[in-house]
Amino acid sequence: MKRFVPLVIAIVAGFVLLIANFIPYAEGWGLTAQEWFNILAVGAMVLGGGNLIKLQLMKISSKKAGWGYAAVTVVCFFAAIFIGMGKFGVHPNELYPNYAWSGYYLEEGSGMWWIYQHMIVPLTSTMFAMLAFYVATAAFRAFRAKNTEATLLLVTAGIVLLGRTYAGVWLFEGWLPDSLLWLRFDNLTVWIMDVPNTAGTRAITIGIALGVVATSLRILLGVDRSYLGQD
């Protein structure tokens, strides 16, 4: 029974949202289901946050490797909750100059804005800067002409890399006739991105869409029950 009831709820909610997108009369049903989803999402966020704090505190108490990062995670977690729930707005505020942090809490200068601009943005930039080195090393290992496919990948990547820089123009400047200007790396790069790359992107998008449809049907029909956990 504890698996049957969630299964029925998932199937009914799924069909309600599906019908609401095709039948105008049922649009209100979809909005109601989305409100229920928001309520459940809040509960899931509370459970997820509690589980996060539990695991980090266990790591700190046992002094496992990296427990210092766990301590930073706990401090930042509660600081973000305090600032977010306190709605520390812009200071000073023109409407209420005698009250500190009384401005709108999502405008420039508010507490959440400060967290995003001075913590999230620098950390994101650092992560992507480090990721660039991993991408470069992985590309160096992958770009080896072992077979036909690898050779095509290597040649195409070289053309695109050169075409994105001034070298794509400088290498052919002055000696290539006008009838062969399409051979310049910058022009070849545009063609590669507009034709083969677009075709591959559309094929991947169509495949993802078919996969989403197939998975959704399996869930709606009760065939796929993996989201209920194991027996």
> What is the chain's pLDDT, residue by residue, as a tens digit (231 residues)?
677 787 888 888 888 888 888 888 888 888 888 888 888 888 888 899 999 999 999 999 988 888 899 999 999 999 888 888 877 777 666 766 666 666 676 777 777 888 888 888 999 999 988 887 887 777 777 666 677 777 887 788 888 877 777 777 777 777 777 677 677 777 888 889 999 999 999 999 999 999 999 988 888 887 877 767 665
Is residue 114 classed as helix, strand or coil in its secondary structure? helix
6 close to 228: Cβ distance less than 8 angstroms: yes
Q: Which residue has the tokens 């036909």?
A: 148
Q: Quote the CA–CA distance of 132 and 205 in Å, as a whole number.
A: 25
Q: What is the pLDDT of residues 209-229, one digit of tens each?
A: 999 999 888 888 878 777 676
Q: What is the pLDDT of residues 76-104, one digit of tens each?
A: 999 888 888 877 777 666 766 666 666 67
How far apart, in Å, are the Cα atoms of 217 and each of 82, 181, 210?
42, 51, 11
- Burial of 111 by CB count in 10 Å (0-12 exposed, 13-18 middle, 19+ buried)? buried
Question: Taking the complete model, does pTM exceed 0.85, yes or no?
Answer: no
Chain mean pLDDT for the chain: 82
Mark residue 36 as left, alpha or beta (left: phi above 0; alpha: psi -120 to 50; beta: remaining).
alpha
User: Which pLDDT does position 138 carry in this prediction?
Assistant: 77
Task: Report the alpha-carbon angle 50-42-84, nearest 5.
Answer: 75
140 close to 153: Cβ distance less than 8 angstroms: no
189 close to 163: Cβ distance less than 8 angstroms: yes
b/e map of 16-47 (b: 16 or more CB within 10 Å)? Answer: bbeebeeeeeeeebbeebeeeeeeeeeeeeee
User: Which pLDDT does position 83 carry in this prediction?
Assistant: 84
